[in-house]
Structures are given as C-alpha cells and as structure tokens.
Amino acid sequence: MPGEPATERVRDLPDVRRERLLMRALQNRLLGPLVRRILGPQRIVEKGMAFWSARLVLTAVEAGVCTELADGPLPEDELRRRLGWHPRAAGTALDALVAAGLLRRDRSGRYANTLRSALFLDRTKPSYLGGLLELSSTRLYELWGGLGELLRTGGPAAAEEQGEDEFFAALYRDPTALREFLAGMTGISTPEATLIAARFPWKRFGTFADIGTAQGALPVRVALTHPHLRGLGFDLPVVGPVFTDYVSSFGLDQRIRFVPGDFMAGPLPTADVVSFGHVFHGSPERTRRELATKAYAAIPPGGAVIVYDAMTRPGRVDNYFSLLSSLNIMLETREGYESSTDDCVKLLHDTGLQRIEVRHLIGPTSMVYGFRPGRLPRS
C-alpha cells in the first residue's frame, strides 16, 4: 500500500527462498519420502480430521453392521437392505470400513467381519465393546463441541452439570440413559478387567468388593478367572437390576451379589480387596482421599485396594489418550480430571497402604494397588 514503510511490505511477503528449498526437498526422489514423513502435513490433517473416521465407525456400530454379518458374509444389496442404507452412499461407507480394517470384502463383492470386529462389535457376544462406542456417538461426540468453552471458563459442557444439577445424579434418574451409560462403562472396563484378573495376586484372597461397579465387568472377569473368589458389586440401588441381569448372563449369581449403597454417604462394604474402576477421575482430590480412607477401613490387615483409571504416566511420551480422557471428564463434571500414576501412588501411600505397585493395563489405563500392613486372617 502507498505510504507503508518498505520494511512492513517485506514482512507480508513469503520467504520465497525457503519455500523453494522445501519444495525441492519434498520433490527429491531420494530424500523426498523421508522429508515428507518428517515434515509432511499428513499427520496434522489426520489428527484434525479424525472426526470423519470417528463418525463412520460410530454410525456403523449404531447400525449394527457387524451384528448383521455375524452369521456370515453378505452381498452389498442384502446388507444394505438389512441396514436400511441408501445405495448412493452405502457401498462407499462399507468400502471405507474395509479400508479401516473393520470389514473384509471377498472377490465376489460380499462383506464379512474381520476377526477383531467379530469378537468386539457383535452385540450378541459377551465380548461386545460397542457400548462404549454407542455412548460416544449418542453423548460424547456432541459434548466435545463444548471444548472451547471449557478452555475459556473451566466449566463442564454436560447438560447434567448445569445449574444445581450434578452429572451422575441427573443421569441415574433416566432409566434409558442409565442403561446406555452402564453398557458404555462395560465397554471401557472389559479389556482392563480381563487384565486385572490376570495381573493382580488374587490367589491369596477370598473376597472382593467392586465400588461403583456399573454392570459388573470387573467382578465377572475376576470370578471367571478365579473360581475360589466370591465378590460383590456396590453401586446406587437403581443399578441393581442392570447388574443382576449382566451377572446372571454369565451364570455367576451364586458367587457375585449386588449391594446397594452410596459410596459417598457411608462406609464401604468389607472385603479382602476393594477396587475402584473409573471412579476417582470424576471427583476432586478431597473426595479421592475420602474414598481411599474408607477403602482402607473396609479391608483387613493384609488386604488390598485397587484403583484403575486412564492415568497419565510421568516420563512416557504416549500419554495422548490419557490427556484426552482427562479433558473428557472435565467436559462431563465440574471437578473431575485424570491424575498421574505418581499422584495415585502418593494418595494410597498417604492413606497408609504399603508395597504399592503400578501396572499399565491397556491403552491409556493403568492400575495402582497397595496393601494394608499386616497378615490376612486365615479363613
């Protein structure tokens, strides 16, 4: 513009020399692939546009694509008819699911489940993890639209946390929403519970109590792995029928029972082992300490307390999903957050527990457990 200092106009111009050097590096037949891998924008684009993939997968899970394919391969027109999908987009979506590794397509054009999707996305199987994805689709996908407001104000986006309402109190008043939420929690907890059943020294104990048990993913996996154990799930009374149905489907009614109660309103049920799965992250520090103190009082000398959550692990570079999980719980609640494993170790130590161990489980989730001093009484 006339009248502007020459130095100001120069600042508005791109660095042509640098741009040419970058272009030549990207175009070079030998160095280009390496430069593109290090400096290329693809990873940024994939992260920023990840909602494309998420929406495809969530829609497929909601529609029950893998459940429809549970009995064997189907041609596109038959699968499309069962799903009620329009021919203009159905083929493209199904091929995208093939590219994503969730489906296979044979030479005749028939679609089939992969081994992974057959195991985890068929609603008729106990290993179904789609509850988490369905919860993500119906609730969390829209909730994340409030991230900007969270970053500006620190306040949650969940409708249940507006005004005087609280997330869990409001959620538990809606039977349909509650069942969806509990199924989602089972989707989160099942892989973790399967590993906890194998990686904690259960053989030395006889009883356990799972606090905030939801459908009972942990009690079921522990009982299936260790026939000598008897346990209970502790949660609000409204959860009872959902818990009972789930436990009964595994034939474990005689070894696992439901105990109604509010873990914030009184003492915890007694057992050799007390566990908290995805409970602490919804509460502030003072509440976590109160719960840990109650758990210490509920176990005998030699007993144990287990906490598992999507905790960050100090010194590790792969904390991305744990950090996203922390933002998610901040969107859901006023004071929740994901702690670090170090913070959890300190909390349990301050409560009086000893011989504290940290075990990474799967994905963002780690388990921290410790023992009350003394020897477990002989039964």
pLDDT tens profile 293-330: 999 999 999 999 999 999 999 887 788 989 999 999 89
Max CA distance (Å), the chain: 93
Q: Which of 257, 181, 269, 176 is nearest to 216 (CA)?
A: 257
- Is 281 in the active site? yes
Where would I find the beta strands (DSSP E) of the chain? 103-105, 111-113, 207-211, 230-235, 256-260, 273-277, 304-309, 354-362, 365-371
Tokens for 170, please give them: 């409001």
Tokens for 206, please give them: 């006889």
Tally Cβ neighbours within 10 Å of residue 34.
11
Tell me the pLDDT tens digit for each residue of 352-364.
999 999 999 988 9
* Least confident window among 69-83, 120-134, 328-342: 120-134
The answer to whether residues 329 and 338 touch, using CB atoms and an 8 Å cutoff, is yes
Q: What percent of the chain has pLDDT over 90?
A: 63
Q: Which of 367, 268, 287 is nearest to 334 (CA)?
A: 287
The answer to whether residues 299 and 269 touch, using CB atoms and an 8 Å cutoff, is no
Confidence of residue 31 (pLDDT cuts 50, 70, 90): confident
Mean pLDDT confidence for 43-69: 92
Tally Cβ neighbours within 10 Å of residue 153.
10
Which of 86, 228, 281, 349 is catalytic? The answer is 281
Burial, 231: exposed, middle or buried (Cβ in 10 Å; 0-12, 13-18, 19+)?
buried
pTM equals 0.81
pLDDT of 177: 72
